[in-house]
Amino acid sequence: MSEAGMEQKYVKEAFDTNWVVPLGPNVNGFEADLEQFVGQDKKVVALSSGTAAVHLALIACGVKPGDEVAVQSFTFCASSHPITYLGAVPVFVDSEKDTWNMDPDLLEEAIVDRKAKTGKYPKAIVPVALYGMPYNIKRIMEIGEKYDIPVIEDAAEGFGSRFNGQVLGTFGKYGVLSFNGNKMITTSGGGALICPDKEAANTIMWYATQAREAYPYYQHEAIGYNYRMSNVCAGIGRGQMTVVEEHLRHHKHVQKLYEELLAGVDGVTLIKAPSAEYDANYWLCTMCLDPELRVKGQENAYKKVITSAVGGAAGVIHAVDSTTTDCQPNDNVETLRLYLDAAQIETRPIVKPMHKQPVYKNNPAYVNGVSESMFKVGMCLPAGPYVSDDDVRYIVDCIKDAIQ
């Protein structure tokens, strides 16, 4: 079938069969496809977003106002914001150098210290597969078991990544997936929660559909949410599942090509999996610039106020009147971003750690400096399904031009 053919077939079916609602045959079909893909006898519930999946997983782990949750600081805000939706407190844990993900030693230190300071352990542990790289699952799961704290894997960026051959999101009690427009596969917007069994999945589904009791009228004994995936979006998801292996192959191929082409370039380091156990999907390829590296035009970095948000949230951002903050990418990184942008290449800074975000300035944080220093030197490179080998060559040539 042609490009987007399967997606259109399933979406058309939703209209033809009059299932243009947040349930239906595509939702069931998509969930079955996902269950087969992730394996391990897991149950999967399709939801309206990955953020909703994080939120419901926290509820299912019993997170209540005043509780604390240990969460990776080096992540997109959707890992931690739902903790605050619940009136609970994110306790941020910094990263290890190898994977950029939650440092197990710091995690254990945080758990012990929170207990000493508050008398309570965190209610859940949320590691994140940043840019698709698996976290140190073995040690994080061991720590979760040692202190009897459930692990919620945020695999939103790590769909199809594996650790020791097993799909991410199937190790912890719950696993979060996202199908937002920019993720590994998309339903335009959407997400899913990988659940341990049918009973847990039913509870998640119940919360996702306004928590209704079995009466002929609306009877509510708990607060629910409108978080179920639409049958139209699930149709796109079913189509995407037919190309997921192709997407994974493509991202890994692009990573390999960057590795080859950037191998001899001084001051530029591409980030790679630390060992064969870590089978990353390379959702985005990432590189670091040596702080000493000079980029053409660097003396003008941060001179102009940026008028659009990174990520292009349809113009819905607050305007700023300052060009800098107290924690930002180095001048050479920002200059290279603008240089590549002028050559029609969109790159992004690495996510800014949550413990450096003003909105979380009063939260407990267990830090070792890794995420902050990576944020200052890191950069995300294009890797999506439309990036060709020639594109990668062009991107690397432009990087070389910029640093000469």
Residues 96-135 that bind ligand PLP (CB under 6 A): 128
Q: What is the 3-state secondary structure (H, E, C) of 42-97?
A: CEEEEECCHHHHHHHHHHHCCCCCCCEEEEECCCCHHHCHHHHHCCCEEEEECECC
The least distance separating ligand PLP from the CB of residue 360, rounded to whole angstroms, comes to 15
Residues 130-189 that bind ligand PLP (CB under 6 A): 154, 156-157, 178, 180
Would you give the binding string for ligand PLP spanning residues 10-49, x where CB under 6 A is met? ---------------------------------------x
**Residues in contact with 157: Cβ distance below 8 Å, sequence separation at least 6, in sequence order:** 76, 128, 129, 130, 131, 132, 178, 183, 184, 283, 284
Helix (H) or strand (E) holding 193: strand 191-195
Sole binder of ligand PLP in the list 10, 19, 74, 76 (CB under 6 A): 76
- Residue 73 touching ligand PLP (CB under 6 A): no
Between 103 and 331, name the residue whose CB sits nearer to ligand PLP. Answer: 103
- Residue 61 touching ligand PLP (CB under 6 A): no
- Residue 80 touching ligand PLP (CB under 6 A): no
**Residues in contact with 10: Cβ distance below 8 Å, sequence separation at least 6, in sequence order:** 26, 29, 234, 235, 236, 238, 239
Between 187 and 298, name the residue whose CB sits nearer to ligand PLP. Answer: 187
Strands 162-163 and 166-167: antiparallel
- SS3 state of residue 268: strand
Under rule CB under 6 A, how many of the chain's residues touch ligand PLP? 15
- Residue 95 touching ligand PLP (CB under 6 A): no
> Per CB under 6 A, which region of 72-80, 96-104, 113-121, 372-380 contacts ligand PLP?
72-80
**Residues in contact with 98: Cβ distance below 8 Å, sequence separation at least 6, in sequence order:** 136, 274
Residues 184-223 that bind ligand PLP (CB under 6 A): 191
Residues making contact with ligand PLP (CB under 6 A): 49-51, 54, 75-76, 78-79, 128, 154, 156-157, 178, 180, 191
